[in-house]
Amino acid sequence: MDFFFENIRNNTDWLHCLIVEYKLFYIDLWSFIHLVTGGAVLLVLSASGSKRIFSTLFLLLVLFEIAEISFFIGVLKLFMPEKTLDVVNDIAIGMLGGFIIQKILTWKRRSVYAKWIFAAISAAFVSFVWVGWYGYSYNHSFFNSSCINWWALTCWSFSGFVIIAINYHLEKKINFPAAFIITSAIYLTALVVVEYIAYHFFKLHEITSDAEPLIFNIIHGSRIMHIYYVTAPLFYILVYKFSNHFLKKYEKGDSPIKQKNISAHSGHAYSFIRRSAGK
């Protein structure tokens, strides 16, 4: 059991990397986890038709922070000790994530763009977790950066979005298993081509410890890296399906923020008609 807890601590240490700090304000990599978590919770609350979603979100964030300090940190020692400022910062960023999702859900062009915004968020989130945890390092310093590798994060986020988009359009014509197989085949083909060009023409490759090629003397990395590269489409598509499921549920339901948004647009339309009639 101690090994299990120690493994969690070791695999989350990278999230403590500080990015920005100004007086009482700071952002570390944990901040992005809290941002996405707050947004995800608000999406679920909105889709379930919960009332007072921001009050509920705030309460859930506070309860989690209490559980984290008293149990996960105090008893299990899973994470580093937190100051009062850290707790306030985590809650504020979680609320910000909820506010951003609420704005997307109440946007008048939501039906056109929301699914693609969630696709981009899903791709960025999966990429963030993978790239940050793996700790990419390339043989050319330009492609490296502190905290999290900017080049790997950018490439994976873009690739993840393309994977989601391809699978989404294929699913409109064929069933999910067939769409997933075709999407994975396209991804693996593109992966081999891009990695071959990067390594054999630009001499760019990953140099973390125990980096070995997967195939054709390309895709240098550990065994875990190779497994992820082969199965990556599954992670991107599943995370997107989670967010899209609750987006569709929100669209079909009677969420308070949805009704409020409809009422606001109806009021604007009514005012416009009255002004037009008076001319």
pLDDT of residue 81: 63
Is the domain of 265 the same as that of 225? yes
Q: For the segment 12-42, what is each residue's pLDDT rounded down to a tens digit?
A: 888 888 888 777 778 889 999 999 999 999 9
Q: Residue 101: which region, alpha, beta or left (left: phi > 0; alpha: psi -120 to 50)?
A: alpha
CA distances from 165 to 32, 115, 185 (A): 24, 10, 14
Q: For the segment 152-199, what is each residue's pLDDT rounded down to a tens digit?
A: 999 999 999 999 999 999 999 999 999 999 999 999 999 999 999 998
pLDDT of residue 37: 95
Is the domain of 9 the same as that of 100? yes
Q: For the segment 52-64, what is each residue's pLDDT rounded down to a tens digit?
A: 899 999 999 999 8
Is the domain of 126 the same as that of 256? yes
Q: For the segment 207-251, what is each residue's pLDDT rounded down to a tens digit?
A: 876 678 778 877 877 888 899 999 999 999 999 999 999 998 888
How many domains are there within the chain?
A: 2
Is the domain of 23 the same as that of 111? no
Is the domain of 70 the same as that of 138? no
Is the domain of 139 the same as that of 261? yes
* Nearest one of 25, 102, 15 to 56, comparing CA atoms: 102
Of 61, 78, 105, the position where a domain reaches its end is: 105
Is the domain of 126 the same as that of 168? yes
DSSP lists the bridge partners of residue 22 as 25
Is the domain of 158 the same as that of 245? yes
Instruction: For residues 88 and 279, give the distance between their C-alpha atoms in angstroms, rounded to a whole number.
Output: 53
pLDDT of residue 211: 72
Of 77, 105, 133, the position where a domain reaches its end is: 105
pLDDT of residue 276: 47
Domain that holds residue 279: 107-279
Of 71, 105, 139, the position where a domain reaches its end is: 105
User: Predicted confidence band at 9 (pLDDT cuts at 50, 70, 90)?
Assistant: confident
Is the domain of 275 the same as that of 158? yes
Q: Is the pLDDT of residue 128 over 60?
A: yes
Is the domain of 164 the same as that of 177? yes
Is the domain of 116 the same as that of 208? yes
pLDDT of residue 77: 63
* Nearest one of 155, 163, 132 to 36, comparing CA atoms: 132
For the chain, what is the largest distance between any 2 Cα atoms, rounded to a whole number of angstroms? 77
Where do the H-state alpha helices sit in 48-143?
53-67, 84-105, 110-134
Is the domain of 5 the same as that of 129? no
